[in-house]
Amino acid sequence: MNPDATLDALTRSATDPARLILLRGASVVTMDPALGTIDAGEVLIRGSRILDVGRGLPDTGALVIDAPGSIIAPGMVDTHRHAWQAQMRRTIPDVDDLAGYLRSTLMNVAPAYTPDDVHLGTRLAALTALDGGITTMLDFSHNSRTAAHSDAAITALIDSGIRGVHASMAPHFGTWDGQWPADLARLRSRYVPTDEQLVTLRMAALATADIADHLAYGPQLARTAADLDIGVSLDVVFGQGASREVLHWREQGLLGPHLQAIHCTALSAEAWAAMREHGVSVSLAPTSDAQIGLEDAVPPVDEALAHGIRPGLSVDVEVALASDMFTQMRALLTIQRMRAVHAAYGTGGEAARISTRDVLDFATLSGARTLRLEERTGSLSPGKQADLIVVDAEAINTMPLHDAVGTLVLGADRSNITSVWVAGQVRKWNSTLLGVDVDALRTRVHDSVAAISERLATTGADR
């Protein structure tokens, strides 16, 4: 069956919960510790879930898709991205400290965003994520100036078809309606009445009050999140200030597995121990920490692993950084191995290196665990949702295939991803995003940038 005929069959059967699809002939990187990598393997999907993984699976009644020369892997998980900023990509490529980012993007540009701009930026980020093999993305949406801004962000995730997590937070600077965090109850009721949906809800907050005290995590925000039964994603978790706050939260009984700590650079050993003791998950931002220079600029993967925490990975801000997870994996692998060898050099000791499988785990299963979604996604395990990617392993930059994990981490890029599936639905096929008019999207993006720039010129703001 040719690709067009296969896509037609997939489209016609898309709403059938009993639909069977058999992907076969690929190297299957399951990221399931019990299943490993299966050469010439098969993945059987029924409806939205993985029914089985292995070889010689039954094809009776299934739509068979042959994928020789390919790698099938779990969709990647971006545990922290400020998606609304997407139409301002690389506006500050050489920003070299947090203050520069705060002034440029959060203080000056953010107040000029309308709800339509937020929807467009979030949709652009989500579609870019899908195109690059990211099937789950946490949107740390910190420009919720009005209820309409929040509605725009969460509906953009829903419209895109990604497995999204809308983490809502009020803006750092500028005027806003003061509706947050109370408005989270409305979002919960209207959009996420249960946690079984493709898009779920979290609270977003900051670790300390240094930047904006109304955004700092503490007893009041913790109670709001607990009442709504949602998790809390904490940004700017770094340095001595955040270390003290972690220990303070422990004293107050506010630590727990509902918390996701983002960055975690230059934290004290005692803070790490407290997070581990109470099950706090950790999201690293390798390029953000190193390139922008957050605290000591070292992504703390060694510190996390030393305390028994396997972190997730994240893109963070596209205004200054790359948009894809391949870059995050490679940056972290390079930085950690450099640190390990440097620490052991001249001592006679052995460098404690992480592996390509480690960083792929951080980008998939551990990322899902970071967002408390490991029961649904992150590995190709029977019973989980069918979130997966198919990667061309015979392209000019990937052939010949010797090691599937090494190829995914060190060789592949978004151009090699031929198809992307979320909950058993194909979102990218034959290397093209489905249902997306890129030309129309491009026009809207440029129009949005022009309108934002005009508002900035009117108010005298300087990006």
Q: Smallest Cα–Cα separation from 271: which of 235, 296, 307?
A: 307
| Tens-place pLDDT, residues 84-99 | 999 999 999 999 999 9
Task: Please provide the distance, in angstroms rounded to a whole number, between the alpha carbons at the two ends of the chain.
Answer: 52
d(CA 18, CA 348) in angstroms, rounded, equals: 59
DSSP labels for 56-120? S---TT-EEEE-TTEEEEEPEEEEEE-GGGGGGTTSSTT--SHHHHIIIIIIIIGGG--HHHHHH
pLDDT at 460 over 80: no
d(CA 80, CA 76): 12
- Percent of the chain with pLDDT strictly greater than 70: 99
Q: Which residue is it, tokens 């060694």?
A: 302
Q: What integer is the mean pLDDT of 23-41?
A: 98
What pLDDT is recorded for position 242?
A: 97
Q: What does the pLDDT look like over 318-352, one tens digit per residue?
A: 999 999 999 999 999 999 999 999 999 999 999 89
Considering only CA atoms, which of 400, 375, 403, 404 is closest in space to residue 389?
Answer: 404
What angle separates helix 356-363 from helix 325-344, to the nearest 10 degrees? 140
Average pLDDT over residues 8-19: 94
Rounded mean pLDDT, 244-248: 98
Arithmetic mean of pLDDT, 436-457: 97
> What percent of the chain lies above the pLDDT cut of 90?
97
Q: What is the pLDDT of residues 111-154, one digit of tens each?
A: 999 999 999 999 999 999 999 999 999 999 999 999 999 999 99
Number of H helices, E strands in the chain: 15, 17
Neighbours of 351 (CB within 10 A): 15
Q: Domains in the chain and their CATH numbers? A: 3-74+387-430 (2.30.40.10), 76-370 (3.20.20.140)
Cβ atoms of residues 386 and 45 within 8 Å: yes
Residue 381 tokens read as: 């395990």
Q: Would you say the pTM of this structure is higher than 0.85?
A: yes
Choice among 242-246, 301-305, 436-440, 458-462 with the minimum mean pLDDT: 458-462
Q: Say how many C-beta atoms besides its own lie within 10 A of residue 368's C-beta.
A: 28
Give CA–CA dist 84/145, Å, rounded.
12
Question: What pLDDT shows up at residue 461?
Answer: 54
Give the ranges where 266-411 is alpha helix by DSSP (H): 269-277, 286-287, 301-306, 325-344, 356-363, 365-370, 404-406
Mean pLDDT over each residue of the chain, to the nearest integer: 96
The H or E element that residue 440 is part of is: helix 438-459
**Over 60: is that where the pLDDT of 393 sits?**
yes
In the predicted model, is pLDDT for residue 463 greater than 50? no
